[in-house]
Homo-oligomer: A and B are copies of this chain.
Amino acid sequence: MGTQIKALLKLATQRKTVREFKRAIPSVENIEEVLNTVCQAPSGSNMQPWRFMVIDDPKLKTGIRQAAEIGEKAFHEKLSEEKKNKYQTMGVSWQKPMLEQAPILIAVLSDRNSPNSKPSVWLAVGYLVLGLEAVGLGSVTYTPSDYKKVQAVLEVPDEFKLETILPIGYSNDSKVKGYRKPLEEVTYRNRWGEPLKR
């Protein structure tokens, strides 16, 4: 196995989703290193339709949490009993304390006027979560149920759309990494269901 893929596999494998954070504040230099990496990503017509808002203002974080929770509460109330129970089992509720407790949030926005902006921005989010892991920072991609409410708090131009907010910081989350399906379950060769290796 080559050096570069070995390092990348290690990075990807060691990364797990983090929703609980220590109080220690990540350095701006680390954030810069990560975002410089992210900005190397490809995008539709190379439009680089991403914008990143690094948020460490406590009042703003509280406002984001409140706006997000209004949307989550409405979403959870509309769920069927079956789905409600399913979310409960998964430990998911309408409450999003991580939006206030993480020392930093990174809001990721897409330019609505760029072609394929949503795919391009999410591809870059793949770079972002790997980059954060590479500087020892935990993260989770939180996608608001009602993004407009949260976007209103951010006061961004209308031509940009809030795609996700990542609470980031040093992990204080004891949860282990989630189960991953074996490659055979998700990879085929030439025809649906055919194994990669014959």
Please list the residues of chain A having a beta carbon within 8 angstroms of any beta carbon in chain B: 1-2, 4-5, 7-9, 11-13, 15, 17, 28, 30-42, 44-46, 48, 50-57, 60, 90, 116, 118-119, 122-127, 129-131, 133-136, 140-141, 143, 154-157, 163-164, 178-181, 183, 186-192, 196-197
Say yes or no: A39 contacts B5, CB within 8 Å. Answer: no
Which B residues are CB-close (under 8 A) to A163? 119
29 inter-chain pairs at a CB distance below 8 angstroms, sorted by A residue, are: A1-B33, A2-B135, A4-B11, A4-B134, A4-B135, A5-B30, A5-B33, A8-B131, A8-B134, A13-B40, A15-B42, A28-B196, A31-B196, A32-B183, A35-B187, A35-B196, A39-B183, A39-B186, A42-B140, A48-B181, A52-B187, A53-B189, A54-B189, A55-B189, A119-B125, A122-B122, A154-B192, A155-B191, A156-B192
Say yes or no: A40 contacts B180, CB within 8 Å. Answer: yes
- How many copies of this chain does the complex contain? 2
Say yes or no: B186 contacts A51, CB within 8 Å. Answer: yes
Closest chain B residue to A119 by CB distance? B122
Docked pose: A57 CA to B33 CA in angstroms? 41
A83 to chain B, nearest CB (A): 10
Docked pose: A47 CA to B44 CA in angstroms? 26
Say yes or no: A12 contacts B34, CB within 8 Å. Answer: no
Which B residues are CB-close (under 8 A) to A8? 8, 11, 37, 130-131, 134
Q: A2-B136, A17-B42 are in contact. Are A143 and B116 (CB under 8 A)?
A: yes
Which B residues are CB-close (under 8 A) to A181? 39, 48
Known: A12-B40, A54-B188. 6 other contacts (CB 8 A): A4-B133, A28-B197, A51-B187, A119-B141, A119-B143, A126-B130
Closest chain B residue to A107 by CB distance? B188
Q: Which 7 A-B pairs have the closest CB atoms?
A: A126-B126, A122-B122, A12-B40, A4-B134, A5-B134, A46-B178, A123-B126
